[in-house]
Chains A and B, each alone.
Chain A
Amino acid sequence: MTEEMATREAYGKALVELGRKNPSIVVLDADLSKSTKTVLFADEFPLRFFNMGVAEADMIGTAAGLAASGFIPFVSTFGVFATGRVYDQIRNSVAYTKMNVKIAATHTGITVGEDGASHQSFEDIALMRVLPNMTVVVPADARQTCQAVEAAAKHEGPLYLRLGRPKVPPVISPEVPFELGKAQLLREGDDLVFIATGITVGIALEAASLMERHNISAAVVNVHTIKPLDEVLLLQLAQKTGAIVTIEEHSIIGGLGGAIAELVSENCPVPVIRVGINDSFGESGSPKELLQKYGLTVNKLISAGKAAVEKKVRAY
């Protein structure tokens, strides 16, 4: 996995591997299997694949019933349909019941691109994070997606896996261990920490390296598990650096930035600047253009980093 690959592609392949090892894995999709890549599983395991048609609420409920009977269902559709559209089904039939259902949503965030605002979910992390019993995982690249799929199957209980549409470069080196709930410190730094998740990890690494020119030593941490948060490591970094910038392909309300702000304000109050979608819907465009327009760029992160360090100075 040294080449660019979409996390949804990696998901589809990982599911097939998982299916070969574990006969309890079943997969449900809502008429988007070619896009979510669950078609790969469907081709190899037709009896363990259920196409529910364009009926997401029914899909979640059916998965709950399969889980209640000992299977491990992975359900897939686009992020908007996998979360907000079926929020009550997930709340009552999956989270409240602690069902062993894995909700793997592809096509999340602004990089959905040309389909526009109706298909771009900026609130899915927030919606899933607020649910008791739910684990929320956002892999940064293809390799991490495979690790996350493996871990999701081993984890007992509901889990939301947030995946993306476009190809992304590998950003996490193979020797970095992956464990649910354990954030990955990818770069040490003393003055500032960039806290990133998903495709923004690469942006954060690049920004941190450029910060050196401004004499700012920036750490980078990949929070692939947004719930439960790795509170120990994140608070250590907050303490050590005294300034935080979060970046996510999601609303700045309620997602990674919201989670970090909640954590540090109670335990280690340091300036937090949240970079993400600023309380708006998206629009059509290429993923690259949209990342630019909505401020998910290296330059935006560098400015935010400088501003966070400046706030820290003023605060002390």
Chain B
Amino acid sequence: MPAISAAALEELRIKARKLRKDVVTMIYEAGSGHPGGSLSVLDILIVLYYKVMNIDSQNYKHPHRDRLVLSKGHACPALYAVLADKGFFPSAYLSSLRKINSPLQGHPDMRKTPGIEMSTGSLGQGLSVANGMALAARLNQSKYHTYVILGDGEIQEGQVWEAAMTSAHYRLDNLTAFLDYNGLQIDGWIRDVKLPQPLAGKWRAFGWHVMEVDGHDYAALLEAIGRARANKGAPTMIIAHTVKGKGISFMENQLDWHGRAPNKEEYEKALAELSQ
């Protein structure tokens, strides 16, 4: 990946403020949803969709497109905001999130929403699916790259580690995973629920190429993705240190914001912060 200019970085920051507003507005209008994890993962999605992935919203089934599996499906408001902004579907859809007959389901549905590569929501399944997509690329001699984003609570699911062994066994260097490491899960701090450490060590022991970055630093994310793409013979895990609820002061690192919508007052306060 080429180094990113200061102007381009500023453009991403402006985009991020707009998309954060979209995310908070969607969840406010839906009356339910997961703001914390949506805001922690958003910057990773921004880097992928605006600077990295080879995709075309007008031809989103192209066989050689890059793939993204959002294994932590509950963060889909962030992905919906990005896909709408990229033109995969009309922005008007966003206000229908979680409502009856909406193309935007509470968790992603690939059969209802253009640009969603895999239906997720039941945690732990996305890495296996991404492996399948990466194996398919190899069989088809296609150059596309598969990205997958896991939650840090999600890796408590055993299937993740079955899949981690598969990615390494097949040396899937056409696959890059991100861990949205915001440190919180529904019932509390991850370290209190079930200790994830040694985190990088676990993935290394499973045969992965591992990097740790600030998951809100665009330049650092871009550099890590560049190194992942250049790495041969093993899959890459980018452990992205993130902040749950990132960008809205009263949501940051607050457990309460895993899975509830803001009320009117909170919503207005959040928008005001994002407009500063």
Contact = CB atoms under 8 A, between A and B. Distances in A.
A88 B122 contact: yes
B136 A64 contact: no
B125 A62 contact: no
A58 B63 CA distance: 24
A228 to B, nearest CB: 20
B139 A65 contact: no
Interface string A69-80: 111010000000
Contacts, number: 109
Interface stretch (B13-21, B161-169, B185-193, B251-259): B161-169
B162 A55 contact: yes
A157 to B, nearest CB: 12
B156 interface: no
Contacts of A96: 109, 119
Interface string A125-167: 0000000000000000000000000000000000000000000
Contacts of A57: 124-125, 128, 158-159, 162
Chain B contact surface mostly = helix
By size class, the interface of chain A is 20 to 34
Given A47-B139, A53-B165, A93-B125, A65 B133 contact: yes
A259 B162 CA distance: 35
A97 B134 CA distance: 18
A62 B117 CA distance: 14
A47 B136 CA distance: 11
B260 interface: no
A26 interface: yes
Chain A contact surface mostly = helix
Interface in A17-51: 26, 47-48, 50
A61 interface: yes
B140 interface: yes
Interface in B180-217: none
B133 A61 contact: no
Contact of A68 (B117, B125, B170): B117
Nearest to B71: A61
A58 B166 contact: yes
A245 interface: no
Contact of A61 (B137, B139, B163): B163
A97 B119 contact: yes
A119 interface: no
A7 interface: no
Interface string B87-131: 000000000000000000000011100000111111011111111
B162 A71 contact: no
A61 B122 contact: no
A52 B120 CA distance: 21
A57 B132 CA distance: 13
B135 interface: yes
Nearest to A88: B122
Nearest to A26: B139
A208 interface: no
Contacts of A62: 128-129, 131-132, 135, 163, 166
B159 A58 contact: yes
A247 interface: no
A61 B121 contact: no
For A55, A63, A69, A73, the residue with the greatest tally of chain B CB atoms inside 10 Å of its CB is A69
29 contacts: A50-B170, A52-B162, A55-B165, A57-B124, A57-B128, A58-B162, A60-B128, A61-B126, A61-B129, A62-B129, A62-B166, A63-B132, A64-B118, A64-B129, A65-B69, A65-B128, A65-B131, A65-B135, A68-B110, A68-B118, A69-B63, A88-B122, A89-B125, A91-B122, A92-B120, A92-B121, A92-B125, A93-B125, A96-B119
